[in-house]
Chain A
Amino acid sequence: MEREKVDATGLSCPLPVVKTREAMDRGATGLEVLVDNPVSRDNVARFAANRGARVEVREENGLFRVLIDMPVTEGAETRSIPGAQERENKTAVTAAGTVVVLSDDAMGRGERELGSLLVKAFLNTLSEGELLPQKVVLYNRGVLLAVEGADTVESLKRMEERGVQLLACGTCLNYFHLMEKLAVGTVSNMFEIIETLMGSEKVIVI
């Protein structure tokens, strides 16, 4: 679906939200709002989510692209594609048997700075997606993603709220002296981690 583009760069709060609302009120069902600061990003995303939209945020060169898809309203698009109904329903589906392993606080090998941006985007996108893993296991530097101050905590919390079980390796937390700082998920042990991995159908290692 083609999204209507709204350029809200150079504007400060509350104007980006005002422009987003104007576009929605004109009847736009898909929007791509471009903003240049985190305050506008959060406010626009919050506004759209509050209106029942599906929201995705992409960061590009210091700019934020907020992708908004409004739920299909009755009458307007009666020929809606099969499955649209489920997509509107905000309750998540966890893929039974799928386990995501976070073994590092970066995604991929090579550039660490890039890797940490990637893992943040990965978790954010995953947490807002339609299909979630049943469990997420964090070990080695992966536990750093779930401690106080990490910018990935919010995404992980969202997943937890949506029914994903988060297991953080206790040995690893102890190693980093961060046992007290775990902000999301439960402290786990090797026994439980092995049981989770062996009992899974699909393991995705980041």
Chain B
Amino acid sequence: MGPEDLKRILKLLPGQPADEVLVGLETPDDAGVFMLDENTALVQTVDFFTPVVDDPYLFGQIAAANSLSDIYAMGGTPISAMNIVCFPCNLDMEILAEILRGGSDKLHEAGVALLGGHTVDDQEPKYGMAVTGKVDPKRILRNRGARPGDLLVLTKPLGTGVLSTALKADFLSEDDIEEAMMGMCSLNENASQAALAGGARAGTDVTGFGLLGHLATMLPERGLGCELDHRSVPYYPRTREMAESGMVPGCAYRNRDFIEKRLVISGDLDELEVLLLCDPQTSGGMLLALPEDGLRGFREIMGPEGCFWVIGRFIEDPEGRIVLR
């Protein structure tokens, strides 16, 4: 669902009654946070989707990494998970077994316990998880909190929306997008720890709303803006080529419309490049507001530049705009 529709629907829900709800529906955060005591809070999230790749084992891993990512994006540590499965009963059960094996292997890698799950008969397979994590209530990594001067840091390349569309259209095979598949499988665990070590002031992960859509969730209505250098934004191989071949997913256009009002284009980038910055991501990287002096601590855990990218800087801006250079 597009960001605009979601916002409209969430507005209809009643507000949060409990004081223990530290992060709820009011803010566009990645997961909800419920305080247990002053040192511990629960982080909860749920996410599931249709296959983005043909290989069921790989799809299972990607879906799990994607579900876990929302916990990492809040600065939390995932502890337990429940599978959510939709599967056509006339399809080979061996496929389902492979999907679940992929998910379970990824949970094992993350040190997360699988507690159970639920399966529904459906025409198209879907898989994902409800994940619970814990977080120090004083160290929650919220979407909002960046300050002017902070660096905008991204930890995975973009392009999975375009590439999986190209895969669906048979313009590419899975061999062609190996790097993107590995990227989608990889956990944001390291990035989350690096963010905490670098004293990141705010953060989220890049998923369905695309880079610009998620960046917009980091900016309040007024006061804070962000300058983004489009040339320093990394893409998986063949993304641009596939976008030029007409493989831009419809969601990228919806995301583009959503941020239109906040966008200022002052550089030499064409419309296609703007659309690429709106490409919806599956299991995308983390997007962080890092104070400049936190870069060293961040790098110590994350590795050298190339494992992450500094793509912009937060600025004072009364109108809360995103400036593309």
| Interface of A toward B, CB cutoff 8 Å | 12-15, 17-18, 20-21, 37-39, 42-48, 50, 149, 154, 183
Contact = CB atoms under 8 A, between A and B. Distances in A.
Contact of A46 (B170, B244, B250): B244
A14 B253 contact: no
A13 B271 contact: no
Nearest to A17: B246
A17 B170 CA distance: 11
Residue of A20, A42, A44, A46 ringed by the most chain B CB atoms within 10 A: A46
A18 B245 contact: no
A43 B271 contact: no
A13 B260 CA distance: 22
B165 interface: yes
A50 B250 contact: no
Contacts of A20: 246
A43 B170 contact: no
B204 to A, nearest CB: 26
B128 interface: no
B250 A12 contact: yes
Nearest to B247: A14
Nearest to B254: A39
B166 interface: yes
A50 B248 CA distance: 14
Residue of B170, B247, B265 ringed by the most chain A CB atoms within 10 A: B247
A18 B253 contact: no
B244 A13 contact: no
Interface of B: 165-166, 168-171, 243-250, 253, 260, 265, 271-272
Given A39-B250, A154-B271, A13 B245 contact: no
A50 B271 contact: no
Contacts of B166: 14
A51 B144 CA distance: 44
Given A14-B165, A18-B169, A42-B246, 14 more contacts: A12-B250, A13-B165, A14-B166, A14-B168, A14-B171, A17-B247, A18-B170, A38-B253, A42-B248, A46-B244, A47-B246, A48-B246, A50-B244, A183-B265
B158 to A, nearest CB: 18
Nearest to A18: B169
B250 A13 contact: yes
B36 to A, nearest CB: 44
Contacts, number: 51
- Across the A-B interface, give the 5 residue pairs with the lowest CB-CB distance, nearest first: A47-B246, A43-B246, A14-B169, A17-B246, A39-B250
B245 A46 contact: yes
16 contacts: A12-B250, A14-B168, A14-B246, A15-B169, A17-B169, A18-B169, A20-B246, A21-B171, A38-B253, A39-B248, A42-B248, A43-B246, A43-B248, A46-B244, A46-B246, A50-B246
Nearest to A153: B271
A150 B68 CA distance: 41
A149 B257 CA distance: 11
A51 to B, nearest CB: 8
Residue of A13, A14, A39 ringed by the most chain B CB atoms within 10 A: A14
Residue of B168, B246, B250 ringed by the most chain A CB atoms within 10 A: B246
Contacts of B168: 14
A50 B166 CA distance: 15
A20 B171 CA distance: 13
A193 B191 CA distance: 57
Nearest to B241: A50
Contacts of A45: 246
A37 B244 CA distance: 18
Contacts of A12: 250
Contacts of B169: 14-15, 17-18
B244 A43 contact: no
Residue of A21, A48, A183 ringed by the most chain B CB atoms within 10 A: A21
B159 to A, nearest CB: 15
B280 to A, nearest CB: 12
Contacts of A50: 244-246
Residue of A18, A39, A45, A154 ringed by the most chain B CB atoms within 10 A: A39
Nearest to B253: A39
A50 B246 CA distance: 9
B246 A44 contact: yes
Contacts of A17: 169, 245-247
B317 to A, nearest CB: 14
Nearest to A46: B246
B252 to A, nearest CB: 8
B130 to A, nearest CB: 29
Contacts of B243: 46
A95 to B, nearest CB: 26
Contacts of A37: 250
Nearest to B169: A14
A14 B245 CA distance: 10
A120 to B, nearest CB: 15
